[in-house]
Structure 1
Amino acid sequence: MFAWRRTALRKRVVVNLSDKAFAGVLWAKRGPLLVLRDAELLEPGREPQRIDGEVVIERARVEFTQVLAGGG
């Protein structure tokens, strides 16, 4: 596991894709996948949408990840 993921694991993050982002707790890294819990979908011009369950994101689609201050 890369250092940033060890540092970010179990912390609140924003995972940015090309067209949207997800905010949530980075719960796990499973091979090529990132798993977020307690997540929201963030899209330009729209209110954040709460998501039930886990969000699974292919790491290849991730443009960058932000670890939020105080997000532990």
Structure 2
Amino acid sequence: MDAYKKLVVLRRVMINLKSGTAISGVVTASRGPLLEVKDATVHTPGSEPAAVDGSIVIEKEHIDFTQLF
């Protein structure tokens, strides 16, 4: 198991993307270049946070930084 996976899987996080959008939720899986986030909310500058049904898959290359809670 890689170090990133040990740090974030099954933890509540705020993932800040290079685009300026942020995703909060629980990381449930880390497979290769992908993260799966459930119980997710999308935070877009200038907009109200929006809850997401199901899960979100994020490519790690688009992540600026991750906050752990």
Give TM-score, length-normalised by structure 1: 0.85
Question: Number of aligned pairs?
Answer: 68
Unaligned segments of structure 2, at least 5 residues? none
**2:16 corresponding residue in structure 1:** 16
* Greater strand fraction, Structure 1 or Structure 2: 2
Provide the rounded CA distance (Å) in 2 between the counterparts of 1:66 and 1:5. 14
Offset of residue 30 of structure 1: 1.2
1:27 aligns with 2:1: no
Provide the rounded CA distance (Å) in 1 between the counterparts of 2:38 and 2:30. 12
Please provide the CA RMSD for this pair: 1.2
Runs of 4+ in 1 over 4 A off after TM superposition: none
Matches for 1:54-65 after TM superposition, within 5 Å: 54-65=55-66
Unaligned segments of structure 1, at least 5 residues? none
Percentage identity across paired residues of the two chains = 43
